[in-house]
Amino acid sequence: MERQVVQRAKEAFLSGRARGLEFRLQQLHALQSMITEKETEICTALKQDINRSQYDTPLLELIGIENEIKLAIEKIAEWTAPRPVEKNLLTISDEVYVQPEPLGVVLIIGAWNYPWALTLLPLIGAIAAGNAAVVKPSELSECSSLLLRALLPRYLDKDLYPVVMGGAAETQELLRLRFDHVFYTGSSAVGKLVMEAAARHLTPVTLELGGKSPCYIDKDCDIRVACRRITWGKFVNCGQTCIAPDYILCEPCIQSRVIECIRRTLLEFYGADPKCSADYSRIINQRHFTRIMSLMEGYTPVVGGQSDPSQCYIAPTVLKDVPPHSRLMQEEIFGPVLPIVTVSDMDDAINFINEREKPLALYIFCSNKKEAKRMIEETTSGGVTVNDVMMHYSLSSLPFGGVGQSGMGSYHGKHTFERLSHHRACMLRSLNMESVNLARYPPQDRVSWKTGRLCLLRTRMRQSCP
C-alpha cells in the first residue's frame, strides 16, 4: 500500500505538472479554501482529540496556516526566480545564477499536538517549491487525522499529495522507501530512528524535535506580567507544545512571588476548577497521562496537582525547589507541570542552561536589555524570545527549528521554501572569445600563469537577472 502510494507520487512528480507556477498557485489557493471552508470541522476534530477550545484552534493553528499560504502566493514568483551571483574576469560575459528547483518527493511526518499546523506548514513549502509530498499525520490525534485524509484529496492533487494513515508500522514502512527529503516533527527518540532510516538512502532530513526549554525570570523584572505570559505559554494546549516553557529558573528570593502570581493568573484564566473550563485542554491519551503523572511522583505541588484518568485530565501544576538532577529535569515534560529550579543569579542560570542539551527555545524575562542580550550571547538555543514566550513562532520571517538534540533544519515562510528546494548553480557561456581561455590551457608558462591568476582573483562583479 505505502509503496504504491509513493510510486504514484513519484510518477506524478516526474510528469512535471508540479513545477509550473500556475499549478503551484492553484494548489495553494485550494489549500487556503480548505482551511477557510472547513474551519468548523477542524475545530470539532480537535475538540474531540484533546478537548481544545473552539477559539484556540484558529489562534494557535489556522490563522498561521492561512498567513503562510498568503505569503507563499504573494512571494512565489520572487522565490522561484533565478538569483544572480557575483562574477570574476573569466566569467564577466557569462550568465551566472542560482536557480531554486524542486527536490522531488518529500515525506512529511506530522505531530499530534498541533496536527494541522505541523503537517500543513511543511506542505505549503513543499507545494511552493514544486515538490510532491506524501503526508503522514499522527495516529494519536485520530479525529484530526481522519478529517485530513478525507479533506486533502478533495482539494489537492491526490496523486501528488497523498495522505497515508497508520501507526508506527506504517511509518516504518514509509521510511524504508526512498524519498528526496524527510520532514519529521516529534520526539528526539523517534527523530534518531528517522535519521537512521533516511541515511540508508542518503536522504536529507529536517528534524523538528523538542527538549527542555528554559525560562529565566530576573528578580528586577515585572514579575506579575512575566507570570501571566509564562502561564499562558505553559498551560495552553495542556502543556503539549514543543516550545512551551519547560521549567523556570529564578532566584530563591522571588520564588514565592512567582508561585503566587501564577496561582492568581490560573484562577483568572481557568477559574477555580480548570476541569470545568472550556478553555483548558486534555492530555492526548492514557499513556501520556501516566507518563506525566509518574514524573510528579515524590513532589507536593504548590499549585494544582489534581487529576482524573477517566478524562486524561491533569490540572495546571507548579512544583517548587525541584532538584536539578531529578528525573523531572532529565526529560521533556510535554504536559501541564511547571517545575521551578532556583539559581543564585543570571550567571548561574547561564551555566545551568549550558550544562544541558541545547533547547528548542529559550525565554528570558529581564528589564535590562543589555543583560538580556548578554544571556542570548552566552547561551544557544533553536530560538529565543525576551519578555514573552513562544511568540517567535508566529513570525514567518524568523526561521523556526532546533539545534543539536532539539533538531536540525528550520522552516516557516521562505525558510520552508529554501529548505525544500535544491539551489542549482547555473552558468551559461558562449563559444566565442576563445582567446580569453588560453591562459588556462597547456602548455603553461609564467606569462599565461600571471594572466590566469589575474582573471581568477576575486573581483566583485554583479549581474542583473537573466
Tell me which of 43, 215, 227, 242 is the catalytic residue: 242
The DSSP 8-state label assigned to residue 319 in this structure reads: E
Task: Give the up-direction half-sphere exposure of residue 29: CA atoms within 13 A in the CB hemisphere.
Answer: 7
Task: Dig out the grid coordinates for 102 from the structure.
Answer: 524542486
Report the chain's terminal Cα–Cα distance, integer Å. Answer: 45
Asked if 331 is an active-site residue, the reply is no
Place of cell 490560573: 266
Task: Give the up-direction half-sphere exposure of residue 211: CA atoms within 13 A in the CB hemisphere.
Answer: 26
Give the pairing type, strands 361-365 and 383-386.
parallel
Tell me which of 2, 61, 142, 208 is the catalytic residue: 208
Find out whether 411 and 206 touch, Cβ atoms under 8 Å. Answer: yes
Q: How far is CA 142 from CA 101, 115, 116, in A?
A: 35, 10, 12
**Residue in 76, 46, 50, 73 with CA at minimum distance from that of residue 62:** 46
**Residue in 380, 438, 433 with CA at minimum distance from that of residue 405:** 380
Q: Please tell me whether residue 422 adopts helix, strand or coil conformation.
A: strand
Helices (H), 51-135: 56-57, 63-80, 117-128
Phi then psi dihedrals of residue 343, to 5 deg: -130, 160
**Residue in 33, 257, 52 with CA at minimum distance from that of residue 141:** 52
Type and span of the H or E element at 373:
helix 369-377
Phi then psi dihedrals of residue 215, to 5 deg: -135, 110
Asked if 242 is an active-site residue, the reply is yes
For the stretch 289-292, contacts whose Cβ atoms lie closer than 8 Å and that sit 24 or more positions apart, written own/partner, are 289/314, 291/335, 292/333, 292/334, 292/335, 292/336, 292/337
Task: Give the up-direction half-sphere exposure of residue 331: CA atoms within 13 A in the CB hemisphere.
Answer: 12
Task: Dig out the grid coordinates for 272 from the structure.
Answer: 477555580
Residues identified as active-site:
208, 242
